[in-house]
Structure 1
Amino acid sequence: MPVERRTILFSGRVQGVGFRYTAVQLSAGLRLAGTVRNLDDGDVELIAEGESGEIDTLVERLREHFGTFIRTIQQNRSRALGLPPGMHVAY
Structure 2
Amino acid sequence: MVLHFLVKGRVQGVGFRWFVHREAAEIGLRGWVRNTADGHVEIVAAGKPEELNDLKTALHKGSRGSRVDRVLEHELEENEGANLGPFEIEGAW
Query: Offset at 1:59?
Result: 1.7
Query: Offset at 1:42?
Result: 0.4
- Of 74, 77, 83 in structure 2, the residue corresponding to residue 76 of structure 1 is 74
Q: Would you tell me which structure has more strand in proportion to its own residues?
A: 1
CA RMSD between the two structures: 1.7
Query: Structure 2: any 5+ residue segments left out of the alignment?
Result: none
User: 1:65 & 1:32 partners in 2: Cα distance?
Assistant: 18
Q: Which runs of 4+ in 1 moved over 4 A?
A: none
User: 2:28 & 2:13 partners in 1: Cα distance?
Assistant: 27
Q: TM-score, normalised by structure 1?
A: 0.85
Q: How does 1:30-45 map to 2 (within 5 A)?
A: 30-45=27-42
Code of the residue aligned with 2:73 in structure 1: it is Q
Partner of 2:20: 23
Query: Offset at 1:64?
Result: 2.3
> Residue 61 of structure 1: SS of its match in structure 2?
helix
8 Å CA contact 1:20–1:89 kept in 2: the answer is yes
Q: Would you tell me which structure has more helix in proportion to its own residues?
A: 2
User: 1:71 & 1:23 partners in 2: Cα distance?
Assistant: 16
Deviations 1:63-84 (A, max 9, x none): 2244860011000102233211
Query: Structure 1: any 5+ residue segments left out of the alignment?
Result: none
8 Å CA contact 1:11–1:44 kept in 2: the answer is yes
8 Å CA contact 2:12–2:39 kept in 1: the answer is yes
User: 1:28 & 1:35 partners in 2: Cα distance?
Assistant: 10
Identity of aligned pairs, percent? 30
Q: TM-score, normalised by structure 2?
A: 0.83
